[in-house]
Structure 1
Amino acid sequence: MATRRWFLGLALIFCVCLIPALSVDKTNFKTCEQSSFCRRQRSLEPGPSQYRALLGSAKLTADKFEIQLINDKTKVPLLLEVFGLHGNMTRIKINELKPLKPRYEVIDVLVGTPASENLQVTGQDDNTLELSLGDGGQKLLVTGSPFRLDVLSDQELVLSVNSRGLLYFEHLRARKDTLSAKVSSAVGNMWHKVKNLFSSDSEKTNTASENDNQSAGEEPETVNEEETKKEEDEAGMWEETFKTHTDSKPSGPSSVGLDFSLPGFEHVYGIPEHADNLRLRTTESTDPYRLYNLDVFQYELYNTMALYGAVPLLLAHNIHRTLGIFWLNAAETWVDISSNTAGKTLFGKMLQYMQGGGETPQTDVRWMSESGIIDFFLLLGPSPTAVFKQYASLTGTQALPPYFSIGYHQCRWNYNDEDDVRNVDASFDEHDIPYDVIWLDIEHADGKRYFTWDPHKFPTPKNMLTGLKEKRRKMVAIVDPHIKIDSAYRIHSEIRSRNYYVKTKDGSDYEGWCWPGSAAYPDFTNPEMRAWWSSMFSYDQYEGSMDNLFVWNDMNEPSVFNGPEVTMHKDAVHWGGWEHRDIHNMYGLYVHQATAEGLIHRSGGKERPFVLTRAFFAGSQRYGAVWTGDNAADWEHLKISIPMCLSLALAGISFCGADVGGFFKNPETELLVRWYQAGAYQPFFRAHAHLDTPRREPWLHGQTNTDIIREAIQQRYALLPFWYTLFYNAHRDAEPVMRPLWVEFPEDMSTFAIDDQYMLGSALLVHPVTEANAREVHIYLPGIGEVWYDVHTYQKYKAPQKLYQPVTSSTIPVYQRGGSIIPRKDRPRRSSDCMQSDPFTLYVALDLQGEAQGQLYLDDGHSFNYQQNEFVYRKFNYSHGQLTSSSLDPQGTFETSEWLERVIIIGSSKPNSITLHQPDGSETQLEFEYNSQTSVLTVRKPGVNIASDFTMSLR
């Protein structure tokens, strides 16, 4: 939802003014130069590291390796810990050895404690230790002076840490010229005494051992006060002002930074969310990529500015290996990327190589976070699939969505009232266009008081919901995390009475301006607050709600209209005494989590939730869907939706989509039609529009365009079994639903920078038309020795091949990969639920060897019963003229009456006969048709249950 500017009037009077914006006002958001910690971090130039590893302090235990680092200037000691993890992963943490007070470490993101692998010291000399990292064949070299880490695989250098000497760890300190510094120091000393009092004997032994190592010829731990004092007066260290907002920084400077070098890698991806290309750019001459969840009003494209969500996961890929770096820090983070091949043309690289002077391509990545500790995971692959599984083992897989949620969603800000909802719903039926969900924005609530209904516009919400339910449809209503300050508003009164609001630095409830006017912000970092919030979704608490009402969390960055950068002050205080600066990027995740758990609890733990969120962090995939925020109705925003969702998919969040038609402005008819065609092939498919835009429901643009939009939506519904199977594979095995071409073709360098076409699973290649007045599109079909088939015409193309595909206004370029089998339901209905008992058609696309494989996953589509094995998971295999169906997981016990109506075999020759063989020994001759022009064989009415074993033989 767009951010309308709230202006404070005299005294307590305010007015709300909607500002028509042509683009984002960049002055509302910091640059790296304006963010003092980023400026300080970036001022450190590459060179020999300020740090040494004290090899004499090294200690190996059952689950980790420890070694102390010392800053040669300040003499501040750090503790580095290395954890070898199961599954070819390594975790490395760096913290102060004796911080003045605890530094924040991210919780609630990891799904559990990662299983450890035994580490071994396998070599040592005067300046190097060699560690064996578990069973993956990797080695970690720890260099003492200057400090650096190198990861080797089979003696080949894979990755280096601090090779450019950019480790920069701002230790906590007391400010020398203030009384607060003395208090801070006293608090720190008291904390150390309390920690020592309650520490275990082993911890005391470890501390003593560390001190012994220090005294054994290593540097002392005494801080160099003179060197530290040089930093005291630098602007922004202890207080920072941006525009009219001052950040008090009670803990002083606390940023951390570290560099990673990736030899052999030219292509890096990930770190969403940014409105940019899939392949990350170099940032030597621009701002770094920023990860800081913000409400950016009509965001600008192709830059590194922060947006609504932040996933600090970066992937690197070349023809030999894929690896990932997961930087577990929830504070404001900037990511610099540089490359020794940046700016060189392909010809220049080839010439340099041929002349024998070529250096190994290398990408360098530098992470800089405002607070917390250094805590990162190296995901060593080596394949793309392995990296996805490694990351999912840490943060979880995509939640399996309820079946209806992968259908089409109709939304705008706002459907006016109950009559408007009924009329829109009826118009879908009148125009024979399927849809599953109609949405309500903020105007449905009573004065922006969430969990309520406007008594004049929505006086009988249960009647409205019942009407939708009778048509087997759903509704989504918005519930935002800012709460109107109104003593007569029950939600506000209860949160205040329970002391669950975020606090200011002075201890009062934090207040800001948002849609209701003056609002307070629940502290979702508090597990008690999250549990209470969840309880508000029960049917007896959320009056007027029913089981077909689901939820949308917007503005959860959090958005604070009169706050710094339109968000919360960093010195606000959360549960446990942590500052907002420490947890900012996790706030939206916590809102999403609490809401999803509320929908689960209201059903007694039986029903899967559907919750859409705008803000997100690592792990948000466990709770539902995201969308790309307040986009605009122009062609460039349509184009950018593809790399934005691909980046999210690489970071574990598969359930992604963009507002069809663009949220802001008014799309021309051609753009709207093309956006429907693109949206039909993205995981989350929702049309949405700004309050001030004219209505643009699918039937309002002339009969011809209505027909084209209907066809696009019907294509989506025909493929729902395929989509649902992809989501199950994402949930079960961390396979992205929507994925870049290089994931499927990792050795094809031509695919590495492509982001205008993509794969759905391994079977469909999609290239939406994203240019105005397009008459053709340029398509690359990858795969040596592979074939592709146009899904509309069945024309066959051998790969690899670049082709120019002619397009008309109704064309959606989609190609099925030879060797794949796709299940579809080809009978159009009004909603996905109405298709529940419809029969299947299998589309079998043969490869050059005359073979194909595919899968189908089924369950009840809405409950958690699949976790008790109530599912069907089938494998279809075509080989040597036989199509067989068998179980991929025999534990599945789900029973279905759905049956197989047709089999369409693409790229086939004409058989003489087709026989169906069933396990009871029965045989049935089947009818078929063969089209010699398209080489398509259609087998009619096999009639078998889709969940049964069978063999179909072609002779």
Structure 2
Amino acid sequence: MITNTELEYKGNLYPNSIIDFKRDTDKLYFTTLNGVILEITILRDSIFRFRYATENIFEADFSYAISENAILGYNQLEVEETATEYLIRTAKLTILVDKQTLRTQVSDLTGFIVCEDELGFHWEENYEYGGNTVKMSKITQNTESFYGLGDKATHSNLKGKRVSNWVTDQYAYGKDQDPLYKAIPFFIGLHNEQAYGIFFDNTFKSQFDFAHERRNVTSFWADGGEMNYYFFYGPSFGQVVKDYTNFTGTPELPPMWAMGYHQSKWSYFPESNVRELAATFRKLRIPCDGLYLDIDYMDGFRCFTWDKNHFPNPKKMISDLEKDGFKTVVMIDPGIKIDKDYSVYQEAIENDYFCKRADGAFMKGKVWPGECYFPDFTNPVVREWWAELYKEMFTDIGVHAVWNDMNEPAVMEVPTKTAPLDTRHNFDGHPCSHRKAHNVYGMQMVRATYEGIKKYVYPKRPFVITRAAYAGTQRYSSTWTGDNVATWEHLWIANVQVQRMCMSGYSFVGSDIGGFAEQPSGELFARWIQLGVFHPFCRVHSSGDHGDQEPWSFDDEVTDIVRKFIELRYQLLPYLYTMFYRYSKEGTPMIKPLVYFDQKDPQTHFRTDEFIFGEQILVCPVQEPNAQGRRMYIPRGTWYDYWTDEVVPGGMEKWIVADIDKIPLFVKEGAIIPKFPVQQYVGELEIKELLLEVYYKKGVENSTVYEDAQDGYDYKKGRFSLRNFSFRGKENELIIQQFKEGTFITSYGTFKMNFHGLPFKIKEVRVDNEIVELKDVKLNGNNNIHISKEFTVLHLIG
């Protein structure tokens, strides 16, 4: 361990020697001579919380990020004191606390150092605002890589980068521009095939330096608050992400229609344009579930109102659209127009719900309606009021979902683009300034929206979208990556951002397909659709002033390509729904970068383009114009080319042919991929037979299919169907076992199994050890069979 030679260096203050140690069950307290207290909480054998106080005083312990459902409990906790250190041992790790410096070191049971303080905790008193700037520095290993931090528009590996967390409205942002719309202060470190994670739960503006200033040091700091971070040990990359996601929470399952294709623009109005849009989707047979109304549906941009000139009867319009399979999603922003005749404004004034400046004046800012006041969503009373405002919109008019935008909060015509720092907030009974509340403002707005919509769409499930977010916002809302640009570079950025968000615990995410600002070419739009249909949230959105961006806005070739890939998304909905089930239940990210898939392969540590969609589909978008293919990295294992059934070995780079109508797409051998027939919207068809695409493997592979009623809460009462398939392939035989859970009865009674790469001609079929006549399973050559969904063991013999 490094020793402190001076108590103060370059204005920074450091802990000195430990003079007291106390234990309170799972909490360990170390107090230094100069009044620093380190509280280490053992949350699990591999998850610890490190919290530092100065002047012997901790702040009130409160977090918006941590889920109340986080799983706690450890198997072992022992503390040993030596002449120079304290050693804290759990069933998986050892923490060393140095007596002279309070520096810490975490190692595994073999003594391998996973994470180690460099200067460790230090601070600088903030005489301008009060409190401290709190800092932490860690030693960076030579081969260490870093990932995470939410929506950063930069290379997926953060080694050598410095980034900040301050949610910001960044219209038409560029590559490497920072900060953006979200503050998710969580990163994963990986070295020597060992992964760990650190979540710095501090809502002030924070900075992360990944060996940028000093090549052997990673540091993070915040403008105020406490040094309060959680340490997650893998050793697998996936375990770190799952554990962090468990601690900050996962969403409940959304309705399946929320995973369909959505169409948006700023703006679709008047009503005749919306109806024409819907009719064109159905006429051209392009599947779509969601249509979006941007701010122009409102009366003078007043939230919770309707422009009766543009939408004279919104209830009837929404009802008519619903009959044709469309759900209507509307925009709600935080800025409330200052207007004495506007009921929302009146209620907020009467009840003192708006944010105020330090000297008592209301915080005023210009947004779309003009001058506005802003509700304090960190006040639980205000959140309850805001939730109730959705009643008429949902119960009377019939809106299906809400999209919260501009909730950083964005403020126009000021250099900071947001509220003044002296704005006051309740912070759930912990009063503070905007310096502390800024990064959670949008999170608390969408939380209030979620709670209102959940109440008023019941017994259906809510669907909400947000632009701004802090860690944990995934519990309430889906999100998108903000106001991007119709460029090839932004196609690359969208790919990286969605991967990064998924490994930062926030999987229900997508980008504005085609770009929000400027106009894409037909080729760029087609390539972006090919990527976007493999993102958990799939929505085209554009500013509208550069031209139209509907699937048919280009030539017939592009329209056909777009239709083809949207249809593929709808076919893969049961696979996507299963992905979401695993995310919701286990914290498994829906999109996995290659480093998540195989952290032992150093080739994956710097890959940005390829990703795993769910568990068994490999995707690699084409991100350059005029390309007829691309080089891509095939990770470990053996893969089937989705388009040709060519079998490709992993662990190598390969040129993949992919003209404008294809995206490089591969399926893991042994996979069983469920598919629906093409529908124009979720629920249009009663599924009579589930298609299972079965990819042969000499060996063992497991696959899962989760199903329920696609909406509502019966699944929480056990009315779901979870089918686990165990695949075992040999030279002349194939055995598939099915293990079923749940009481939900699917609409179909049979599976159609399509076999890919089967190396033998089927001569005998046994179901649950009984020989079945080949004509009874409708054996079609050697490609497919039809079989009852109730089988336990299927045995094919060549």
1:235-263 deviation digits (Å, cap 9, x = unpaired): xx42xxxxxxxxxx3xx353211112243
* Aligned residue number for residue 242 of structure 1: none
Q: Does 1:314 align with 2:314?
A: no
Distance 1:48 1:266, change over 3 A: farther
Distance 1:140 1:87, change over 3 A: closer
In structure 1, what is the equivalent of residue 784 of structure 2?
Answer: 939
Q: Which residue of 1 aligns with 2:40?
A: 82
Identify the residue that residue 316 of structure 2 maps to in structure 1: 463
- Answering whether residue 15 of structure 2 is matched by residue 60 of structure 1, we say no
TM-score, length of structure 2 as denominator length: 0.94
Tell me if 1:156 matches 2:111.
Answer: yes
Measure, in 2, the Cα distance between the counterparts of 1:463 and 1:388: 45
Pair 1:757 & 2:607 matched:
no
Cα deviation for residue 856 of structure 1 reads: 0.4
Aligned residue among 862, 874, 891 for 2:723: 874
Deviation of 1:883 after TM superposition, in Å, equals 4.4
Deviation at 1:921, TM superposition (A): 9.5
Contact conserved, 2:264 with 2:292, CA < 8 A, in 1?
Answer: yes
Q: CA 1:46–1:54 in structure 2 vs 1: closer, same or farther (change >3 Å)? A: closer
Residue pair 1:257, 1:374 contacting (<8 A) in 2 also: yes
**Per-residue deviation, 1:698:** 1.0
- Does structure 2 retain, via aligned residues, the 8 Å contact 1:788–1:798? yes
What is the letter of the counterpart of residue 461 of structure 2? Answer: R
Matching residue of 1:837: 687
* Change in 2 beyond 3 A, CA 1:98/1:717: same
- 1:169 aligned residue: 123
Equivalent residue, structure 1, for 2:68: 111
Pairwise CA distance, 1:927: 2.7
Kindly indicate whether residue 100 of structure 2 is the aligned counterpart of residue 142 of structure 1.
no
1:365 aligns with 2:218: yes
Instruction: Confirm or deny: 8 A CA contact 1:824 1:842 kept in the other structure.
Output: yes
Counterpart in the other structure of 2:763: 913
Closer, same or farther: CA 302–49 of 1 in aligned 2, 3 Å? closer
Equivalent AA in structure 2 for residue 60 of structure 1: R
Letter of the aligned partner of 1:929 in structure 2? N
Q: What is the one-letter code of the residue matched to 1:895?
A: I
Distance 2:111 2:749 in 1: 53
Q: State the match for 1:289 in structure 2.
A: 163
Q: Helix, strand or coil for the counterpart of 1:167?
A: strand
Pair 1:608-2:461 in alignment: yes
Q: CA deviation at 1:291?
A: 0.4
Q: Is the 8 A contact 1:292 1:309 kept in 2?
A: yes
| Cα distance change of structure 1 residues 833 and 682 upon mapping to structure 2, 3 Å threshold | same
Any idea what the Cα deviations from partners look like across 1:717-744, whole Å, max 9, x if unmatched?
A: 1111100101101111111111111212
From the superposition, tell whether residues 46 and 630 of structure 1 become closer, same or farther in structure 2 (CA, over 3 Å): farther
Q: Distance in 1 between matches of 2:31 and 2:544?
A: 58
Among 510, 525, 544, the alignment partner of 1:657 is: 510
Aligned to 1:96: 54
Q: State whether residues 271 and 310 of structure 2, in contact with CA within 8 Å, keep that contact through their aligned partners in structure 1.
A: yes
Query: SS at the partner of 2:183?
Result: coil
Contact residue 77 and residue 91 of structure 2 kept, 8 A: no
- 1:419 Cα deviation (Å)? 0.9
SS at match of 2:783: strand
Quick check: which one's strand share is greater?
A: 2
CA distance in 2, matches of 1:682, 1:541: 29
Match of 2:375 in 1: 522
Compute the displacement of 1:950 (Å). Answer: 5.3
Of the three residues 527, 532, 549, the one matched with 2:400 is 549
Counterpart contact for 1:869–1:894, Cα < 8 Å: yes
CA distance in 2, matches of 1:814, 1:119: 46
Q: Secondary structure at the match of 1:255?
A: strand
Count of matched residue positions in the alignment of Structure 1 and Structure 2: 785
CA distances 1:88-125 after superposition (whole Å, capped 9, x unpaired): 101111022445x9568434533257635477554333
Candidates 113, 123, 146, aligned match of 2:80: 123
Counterparts in 2 of 1:216-255, with a 5 A limit?
237-238=127-128, 249=129, 252-255=130-133
Kindly report which structure 2 residues correspond to 1:382-781, keeping only aligned pairs within 5 A, or say none: 382-538=235-391, 540=392, 545-546=397-398, 549-575=400-426, 576=429, 577-604=431-458, 606-781=459-634
1:485, distance to aligned residue in structure 2 (A)? 1.2
Q: Are the aligned partners of 1:473 and 1:831 in contact in 2 as well (CA < 8 Å)?
A: yes
Q: Is the 8 A contact 2:519 2:546 kept in 1?
A: yes
Question: CA contact under 8 A between 1:318 and 1:746: conserved in structure 2?
Answer: no
Tell me, yes or no, if the aligned pair for 1:294 and 1:307 is still in contact at 8 Å.
yes
1:951 partner letter: L
The separation in 2 between residues aligned to 1:877 and 1:378, in whole angstroms, is 35
Gaps of 5+ in 2: 1-6
Q: CA deviation at 1:434?
A: 0.5
Work out the CA distance in 2 between the residues paired with 1:549 and 1:609.
8
Residue 821, structure 1, aligned to residue 672, structure 2: yes
Equivalent position amino acid for 1:694 in 2? G
Asked whether 1:884 is paired with 2:762, we answer no
1:836-866 deviation digits (Å, cap 9, x = unpaired)? 42421111112243x4431100011111221
Q: Quick one: structure 1 residues 863 and 797, their matched pair in 2 at CA, closer, same or farther if it must change by over 3 Å?
A: same
**CA contact under 8 A between 2:12 and 2:123: conserved in structure 1?**
no
* Counterparts in 2 of 1:413 and 1:127: CA distance versus 1, 3 Å: same
Q: Give the match's secondary structure for 1:725.
A: helix
Which of 784, 791, 794 in structure 2 is aligned with 1:951? 794
Secondary structure class of the residue paired with 1:833: coil
Alignment partners' CA distance in 2, 1:641 and 1:168: 37
| Partner residue, 1:812 | 663
Give, as a single letter, the amino acid of the residue that structure 1 aligns with 2:123: F
Q: TM-score, normalised by structure 1?
A: 0.79
Q: Is the 8 Å Cα contact of residues 26 and 43 (structure 2) preserved in structure 1?
A: no
- Please tell me the residue identity of whatever aligns with 2:22: K
| 1:658 CA drift (Å) | 0.7
CA distance in 2: counterparts of 1:109 and 1:512, whole angstroms: 31
CA, structure 1 residues 494+701, in 2 after alignment: closer, same or farther (shift >3 Å)? Answer: same
| 1:381-437 Cα shifts (integer Å, max 9, x gaps) | 111222123212311124322101111000000001111111111101111111110
Question: How much does 1:875 deviate?
Answer: 1.3
Query: Aligned-pair distance for 1:902?
Result: 2.0
Aligned-pair identity in percent equals 29
Residues 658, 685 of structure 1: 8 Å contact kept = yes
* Deviation sequence 1:138-166 (CA, Å, 0-9, x none): 11111122331111112434344542x25
Say if 1:819 and 1:872 are closer, same or farther in 2 by CA, change over 3 A. Answer: same
Q: Which amino acid aligns with 2:245?
A: A
How far did residue 611 of structure 1 move? 0.6
**In structure 2, the residue corresponding to 1:645 is in which secondary structure?**
helix
One-letter amino acid of the structure 1 residue matched with residue 67 of structure 2: L
- After superposition, the C-alpha distances for 1:348-375 in whole angstroms (9 at most, x for unaligned) are xxxxxxxxxxxxxxx5321111111111
CA, structure 1 residues 51+121, in 2 after alignment: closer, same or farther (shift >3 Å)? farther
Instruction: Confirm or deny: 8 A CA contact 1:398 1:653 kept in the other structure.
Output: no
**What is the identity, as a one-letter code, of the residue corresponding to 2:236?**
S
Is the 8 Å Cα contact of residues 70 and 249 (structure 2) preserved in structure 1? no
- For residue 176 of structure 2, the aligned residue among 292, 302, 327 is 302
Cα deviation digits, residues 647-689 of structure 1 (max 9, x gap): 1001111111111110000111111111111111111111011
Question: Paired residue for 2:778, among 927, 938, 941?
Answer: 927
SS in 2 for 1:488: coil
Structure 1 residues 469 and 808, CA gap change in structure 2 (3 angstroms): same
Q: Counterparts of 1:592 and 1:333 in 2: how far apart (Å)?
A: 22
Gaps of 5+ in 1: 1-43, 173-236, 239-248, 343-362, 931-936
- Work out whether residues 271 and 651 of structure 1, in 8 Å CA contact, stay in contact via their aligned partners in 2: yes
Q: Which amino acid aligns with 1:254?
A: N
The 1:114/1:916 distance shift into structure 2, 3 A limit, reads closer
Whole-angstrom distance in 2 between the partners of 1:301 and 1:731? 31
Aligned amino acid, residue 820 of structure 1: A
